[in-house]
Chain A
């Protein structure tokens, strides 16, 4: 875990509070809760199918809409919103949970989760087709080749427009268009942050990186780079960029949850507490 002690900007210019939408589906059981963080222009809505499937497997889950997204506040301030604000939102969601969650971040949300994992001891981290915090040169190059106008627009500060075939590989066209139409605006600062490499290192929590075989946005080389930087496990699944919505979503969730079960031993959340029994004084 990187130990960034001095956080001058955070102290001097703290993030302003906004209302955050958190969609919770809770079930009884011993599994750690899942906290879902969406990607560019998405919202908590994109994890709805997964939340029901996870509940059926005995996992409580909470899907956060970052500020300016979904039904969260801060819509009018989106143009001024930074990744540090998103980090704040995720930490706010975490601090509202009764125990450390497994953080699951998709795409740009994966980049936010990488930053949160640097400072917070989550039970585990799962990064789905993530933008690596250490920089995404192959992805930028790919966009320059396939979607040069969108890359230019994004660089100039407009929201990168994502089409159905950027996001999905195995969905009926109606459904794909319907989902794609729900993707909204993104902060220009967050888009620029994807271009700027951040120093991140291995973290205390176990991490799984999931790459999608038919991903047309995040390049395979960048997915591997992300896993390498965090010393994380790497898993490839079928489907397009939005693995939680695409045709293989049930199978992908099984891959994720099977790994979570193996990576999170039962018992107290912090590893030191699992080594000895609590002291019994007479």
Chain B
């Protein structure tokens, strides 16, 4: 089938939806492919693609989490639930007429370059496209760490964690202090018989609200007032110190890094339950045995359920040539974290982990890609030159001045203001 005048968008989560919308808005025909039966990606709760659990709420507040041209309803709270988020995406798709352009239950199995066009194989049908936007998400392929020893109990990855019922009455060890790990540790504290929480290092557990406002808005007030990083660090440390005090006093590990060097953890309840003895903090695991784990400090815990909240790997199983997205080692290093190093007609949307909300950035990634592809259709020579120029800065990172800890989840960490400034600049170059 020949749709070489169109663009294929892989995935109908927030990044796929916004890419589809931006392309159609700029007059570029586009088709979406979604392997689940409904849209929403990670937020399509209960679908095999979804990794949210019953209690999931946003950890960034509405203003930077929503699409700037289609805000969440004022009736939503500061931090909406996953059900509200799904409803929001449904309304976005209905409003812009996106649903009709998406094939559901459509699994993309192969994406292969033919010159600068693409053969996209979907459910055994191969379709020729002029360009491809990959928005398959990076929070679905579980990363499971290996430890010595044989554990006799049940092992679960947070990918398969859906509700607190899975923890009720168990002796639980939660591994990992990402936002998911902290959520699950808290739910275990409320439901399990005993809860242990193993983390590799100490972290800053940030409150969701300070001074009566969502804390990320306070952080952005400082940014809007152009307060330098060092002062912002001091202000955050002082706020935590005066409200919560030192984390070490609760038996938690002392953070081994400065503020903004790891992806922010926003969880007001974890420290509360530690202080009530319902969560026992533990360092990294040394080895497992039949009915528990031994930790690097020599202590051990008797548990019958281990939940690995150890994150996800970015994978692109359909790419015929992984180097098209520099994905051979699972850590693509792409210009603006979006551009293929090999083809001006292949773009990746969504491989970002911002220190704020995600979908305002999804919107601007989508606009940048759509504007570029519009230029490519009208003036391919200039688009190619711009693409080459963009790829000359592949190593540019957007850290807001901080130095991120090396980890599989930090290679795509971004500081939202830095990143959006770069996207804005690119948009200006495309438009000029």
Decide if B75 is an interface residue (CB 8 Å cutoff). yes
- Assess whether B95 is in contact with A273, with CB atoms less than 8 Å apart: no
- Assess whether B417 is in contact with A6, with CB atoms less than 8 Å apart: yes
Smallest CB separation, B260 vs chain A (Å)? 17
Q: How far is the CA of A99 from the CA of B61 in the complex (A)?
A: 26
Task: Pick out which of these stretches binds chain A: B219-227, B314-322, B344-352, B387-395.
Answer: B219-227
| CB proximity to A under 8 Å, residues B14-58 | 21, 23-31
- Assess whether A91 is in contact with B71, with CB atoms less than 8 Å apart: yes
- Assess whether A272 is in contact with B26, with CB atoms less than 8 Å apart: yes
Q: Give A97's nearest chain B residue, CB to CB.
A: B95
Smallest CB separation, A113 vs chain B (Å)? 14
Q: How far is the CA of A281 from the CA of B33 in the complex (A)?
A: 10
A-B pair count, CB < 8 Å, reads 128
- Assess whether B29 is in contact with A272, with CB atoms less than 8 Å apart: yes
Q: How far is the CA of A18 from the CA of B224 in the complex (A)?
A: 25
Smallest CB separation, B273 vs chain A (Å)? 31
- Assess whether B94 is in contact with A92, with CB atoms less than 8 Å apart: no
Question: Among the listed A6, A17, A121, A275, which residue makes an inter-chain contact with B421, where contact means beta carbons less than 8 Å apart?
Answer: A6
- Assess whether B26 is in contact with A13, with CB atoms less than 8 Å apart: no
Residue-wise, chain A 82-122 has the 8 Å CB interface mask toward B (1 for contact) of: 00000010011011111110000000000000000001110
Task: Pick out which of these stretches binds chain A: B98-106, B331-339, B378-386.
Answer: B98-106
Task: Pick out which of these stretches binds chain B: A150-158, A243-251, A263-271.
Answer: A263-271
Smallest CB separation, A245 vs chain B (Å)? 29
> Chain B residues near A204 (CB, 8 Å)?
25-26
Q: How far is the CA of A281 from the CA of B107 in the complex (A)?
A: 11
Task: Pick out which of these stretches binds chain A: B158-166, B276-284, B398-406, B423-431.
Answer: B423-431
Q: How far is the CA of A272 from the CA of B373 in the complex (A)?
A: 13
> Chain B residues near A14 (CB, 8 Å)?
61-63, 217
Question: Among the listed B3, B31, B103, B221, which residue makes an inter-chain contact with A12, where contact means beta carbons less than 8 Å apart?
Answer: B221
- Assess whether A271 is in contact with B421, with CB atoms less than 8 Å apart: no
- Assess whether A270 is in contact with B96, with CB atoms less than 8 Å apart: yes
- Assess whether A276 is in contact with B417, with CB atoms less than 8 Å apart: no
> Chain B residues near A271 (CB, 8 Å)?
24-27
Decide if A279 is an interface residue (CB 8 Å cutoff). yes
Smallest CB separation, B231 vs chain A (Å)? 16
| CB proximity to B under 8 Å, residues A226-282 | 268-273, 275-276, 278-279, 281-282
- Assess whether B73 is in contact with A5, with CB atoms less than 8 Å apart: no
Decide if B97 is an interface residue (CB 8 Å cutoff). yes
Smallest CB separation, B373 vs chain A (Å)? 11
> Chain B residues near A269 (CB, 8 Å)?
95-97
> Chain A residues near B91 (CB, 8 Å)?
95
Q: Give A99's nearest chain B residue, CB to CB.
A: B95
Residue with the greatest number of chain B CB neighbours at <10 A, chosen from A120, A276, A281: A281
Residue-wise, chain B 56-92 has the 8 Å CB interface mask toward A (1 for contact) of: 0000011110001111111100000000000000010
Q: How far is the CA of A257 from the CA of B95 in the complex (A)?
A: 22
- Assess whether A273 is in contact with B423, with CB atoms less than 8 Å apart: no
Smallest CB separation, A95 vs chain B (Å)? 5
Decide if B243 is an interface residue (CB 8 Å cutoff). no
Decide if B123 is an interface residue (CB 8 Å cutoff). yes
Question: Among the listed B23, B30, B68, B72, which residue makes an inter-chain contact with A7, where contact means beta carbons less than 8 Å apart?
Answer: B68
- Assess whether A100 is in contact with B367, with CB atoms less than 8 Å apart: no
Q: How far is the CA of A6 from the CA of B422 in the complex (A)?
A: 10
Decide if A56 is an interface residue (CB 8 Å cutoff). no
- Assess whether A99 is in contact with B97, with CB atoms less than 8 Å apart: yes
- Assess whether A98 is in contact with B95, with CB atoms less than 8 Å apart: yes
Smallest CB separation, A246 vs chain B (Å)? 33
Smallest CB separation, B356 vs chain A (Å)? 7
Decide if B122 is an interface residue (CB 8 Å cutoff). yes
- Assess whether B25 is in contact with A8, with CB atoms less than 8 Å apart: no
Q: Give A92's nearest chain B residue, CB to CB.
A: B74
Q: Give B91's nearest chain A residue, CB to CB.
A: A95
Q: How far is the CA of A263 from the CA of B233 in the complex (A)?
A: 53
Decide if A76 is an interface residue (CB 8 Å cutoff). no
Q: Give A2's nearest chain B residue, CB to CB.
A: B431
- Assess whether A6 is in contact with B71, with CB atoms less than 8 Å apart: no
Decide if A3 is an interface residue (CB 8 Å cutoff). yes
Decide if B5 is an interface residue (CB 8 Å cutoff). yes
Q: How far is the CA of A95 from the CA of B101 in the complex (A)?
A: 20
Q: A9-B224, A272-B26 are in contact. Are A17 and B96 (CB under 8 A)?
A: no
Decide if B125 is an interface residue (CB 8 Å cutoff). yes
Decide if B420 is an interface residue (CB 8 Å cutoff). yes
- Assess whether A273 is in contact with B217, with CB atoms less than 8 Å apart: no
Q: Give B423's nearest chain A residue, CB to CB.
A: A5
- Assess whether A268 is in contact with B97, with CB atoms less than 8 Å apart: yes
Question: Among the listed A5, A88, A100, which residue makes an inter-chain contact with B71, where contact means beta carbons less than 8 Å apart?
Answer: A88
Q: A17-B75, A273-B29, A273-B97 are in contact. Are A3 and B427 (CB under 8 A)?
A: yes
Smallest CB separation, B101 vs chain A (Å)? 6
> Chain A residues near B3 (CB, 8 Å)?
276, 279
Q: How far is the CA of A275 from the CA of B25 in the complex (A)?
A: 12
Smallest CB separation, B407 vs chain A (Å)? 26
Q: How far is the CA of A121 from the CA of B127 in the complex (A)?
A: 30
- Assess whether A3 is in contact with B424, with CB atoms less than 8 Å apart: yes
Q: Give B66's nearest chain A residue, CB to CB.
A: A95
Decide if A198 is an interface residue (CB 8 Å cutoff). no
Q: How far is the CA of A5 from the CA of B122 in the complex (A)?
A: 34
With A3-B428, A11-B224, A99-B95 known, 11 other A-B pairs at CB within 8 A are: A6-B420, A9-B224, A14-B63, A94-B70, A99-B96, A99-B97, A268-B100, A271-B24, A272-B24, A272-B25, A275-B27
| 4 residue pairs, one from A and one from B, having the closest CB atoms | A17-B74, A272-B24, A270-B24, A5-B424
- Some 10 contacts from A to B, beta carbons below 8 A apart, are A3-B427, A92-B73, A99-B95, A120-B70, A204-B25, A272-B23, A272-B24, A272-B25, A278-B31, A281-B106
